Amino acid sequence: MREMMLMLMLMLDLLSVCEGDDMKRDIAYYMALPYREIIEADAAGGYVGYVAELKGCITQAETKAELLELLEDAKRCWLEAALEEGLTIPKPQSEENFSGKFNLRLPKSLHRELALSAKAEGVSLNQLAVCLIASGLKTSAVR
């Protein structure tokens, strides 16, 4: 009976060690994934950084170098907490999921204005739209 108890205790110890190794492997797996890290200058000074796919994973620092280090720590803490709680961890959005094409419906008056602007600039309507969207994304506070 004593031998069975010792064997059971040993198996439980091994199980807990394996679980710890699985968690480390999971952390390493998730930390290696190519999550999008967004860095923005803070109006009050310094920088703010967040991981786009991990809601609430955000930090701030005075310098970009410090921010990158803190963002890595924030990501690790976020992932560890999610694993401990058994939460589903989102995977990064890969560029393979996007074709580079989408349809856009807009009022005729805006279409006309864009077409005239593109002609005046000597570029295609598509080139102008891409430029305007990219410019808007850089200045937008929308995440």
- Return the pLDDT at 101: 86
What angle (nearest 5°) sits at the alpha carbon of residue 11, between those of residues 9 and 13?
70
Which domain, by its residues, includes 122?
100-139
11 pLDDT band, cuts 50/70/90, is very low
Check if the beta carbon of residue 36 is closer than 8 Å to that of residue 51.
Answer: yes
Checking if the pLDDT of 46 tops 50, the result is: yes
Q: Supply the CATH number for residue 50's domain.
A: 3.30.160.250
The model's pLDDT over 76-112, given as tens digits with 9 standing for 90+, comes to 999 999 999 999 999 898 766 778 888 889 999 999 9
Residue 54 pLDDT greater than 60, yes or no = yes
Whether residue 81 is found in the same domain as residue 104: no
Report percent pLDDT > 70 for the chain: 78
Same domain, 6 and 71: yes
What total of structural domains would you count in the chain?
Answer: 2
Q: Which two tokens stand for residue 92?
A: 């990064």
Same domain? 25 vs 53: yes
- The answer to whether residue 129 is domain-embedded is yes
Q: Which residue has the higher pLDDT, 44 or 136?
A: 44
Number of neighbouring beta carbons within 10 Å of residue 51: 22
Asked, for residue 90, whether it belongs to a domain, the answer is no
Is residue 53 pLDDT above 80, yes or no? yes
Dist. CA 124–CA 70, nearest whole Å? 43
Q: Does the pLDDT of residue 13 top 50, yes or no?
A: no
**Do 36 and 69 share a domain, yes or no?**
yes
Whole-angstrom distance, CA of residue 23 vs CA of residue 84: 9
pLDDT surpassing 90 at residue 3: no
